[in-house]
Structure 1
Amino acid sequence: MDSIYQFNAPLYNSESFPLSQLKGKTILIVNTASKCNFSVQLSALEKLYQEYKSSGFTILAFPCNQFGQNEPLDNLAIKDFYQAQFNVSFEVFGKVMVNGPEAHPLFNYLKSHTRGISQNRAIKWNFTKFLINTEGQLVARYAPRTKPETLKHVIEANLQKKTSGKKSPKIVTNFAALKGI
């Protein structure tokens, strides 16, 4: 089955993390940057994580310096900054590229399974969000301007599908949430 479980990614400490460890969880993948105007979303993401982690939800932060050079910190400093400034306790990975020839394979996979605004596959800015179902498949893509708290209903719906045993839909792109980017 085609899913994110086929990928490994480096954590902030360079340790390889197989995404297959997350089988059965609803996941929100976010490309982040500490100096981005949207970095305040890290607090809202942490609130979502705390609210739903006991139900099988997790968040994966992938710092990226491709947009406005908004992630100048090294991996350890990023993790420390996220914890000190936003109390982040979800997984923070090492810096990755999300576009171009050196893009991490996970982001190539995510982009190949959905499109952003104007049907473009490229990620346009920091804090683009990807919701993954319990089978490791992409459910939806959300623009950087989409506030994390507005995703509660789709997170809850995916968590309910897990407990009811119903399969999550493979892809339902939320184009309304993509406006403005």
Structure 2
Amino acid sequence: MSGTIAAVSSNGTYSFTKPNRESITLIAGHGVEGDVHAGTTVKHRFRMAKDPSQPNLRQVHLIHEELLAEVAEAGFQVAAGQLGENVTTRGVDLLGLPAGTRLHLGDEAVVEVTGLRNPCAQIDGFQKGLMKQVVGRDDDGAVRFRAGIMSVVVTGGVVRPGDPVKVELPEGPHRPLEIV
């Protein structure tokens, strides 16, 4: 399985959306250079309030571009970076990946998938009703979170729109993604 990077985004201050960039630099064990969520320990405000010493399993947030097309069909206009992601991919079923999958981004960078993003109320603050588009139920009634995946940086490097994404699945048995 492979795909491409549609957009890259970062923001040095706490803000729901992140502006698109020409490139971002990933730093091993740290995250996106200059991004407010980069660091070895958790940087998300809610998690910091609970325990600021916990490891940062949310260094890089990825969303598949196909989700943006799906919410557009429901009447929402959401562009890359507007849901707070750092990397917007095309052609990769991010939500179907098991935990521990490694994504090779561009020529050098590698991130390891840690889990699902836990969508927050800020999504409805951005566009009322959007939360119902990214959180739903499957045919069995189980809650499905579709607001992207989280990862940590294993190998640093520069990442740009148009770069390839190569998927490296972990050895089995595979663990499904859970909220991190």
User: Quick check: TM above 0.5?
Assistant: no
Higher helix proportion (structure 1 or 2): 1
